[in-house]
């Protein structure tokens, strides 16, 4: 069973998670509400995103500050995740 607590810690919405994974918001909502779990074919991608989000929270890049507008939110989240991934590779 996948633990979505890092997603909650980062205050990400189902819409935010769906944008990171390229899947539907409804599917992400079901996962976050405990109604279902990711399909085994998606499990690796989901775990990678959860780990990246956890690292972004630890690096104080997430949650998204309240000063970030709704329009800028997706870009802010994607940038935070990209920075975490880049620092892990370097």
Assess contact for 63 and 52: CB atoms under 8 A: no
List pLDDT tens digits, range 29-38. Answer: 999 999 999 9
Cα–Cα dist 49/78, whole Å: 11
Instruction: Report the pLDDT value the prediction gives residue 47, as an integer from 0 to 100.
Output: 98
- Domain borders along the chain are 5-89
Question: How does the average pLDDT of the chain come out, rounded?
Answer: 95
CB within 8 A of 50, min separation 6: which ones? 2, 3, 4, 6, 7
Helices (H), 1-90: 5-9, 14-21, 25-32, 43-58, 70-89
Cα–Cα dist 37/28, whole Å: 9
């Amino acid at each position: 069973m996948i633990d979505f607590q890092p997603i909650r810690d980062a205050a990400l919405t189902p819409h935010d998670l769906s944008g990171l994974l390229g899947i539907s918001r409804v599917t992400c909502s079901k996962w976050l509400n405990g109604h279902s779990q990711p399909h085994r074919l998606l499990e690796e991608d989901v775990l990678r995103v959860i780990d990246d989000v956890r690292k972004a929270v630890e690096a104080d890049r997430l949650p998204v500050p309240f000063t970030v507008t709704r329009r800028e939110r997706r870009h802010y989240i994607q940038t935070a995740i990209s920075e975490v991934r880049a620092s892990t590779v370097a």
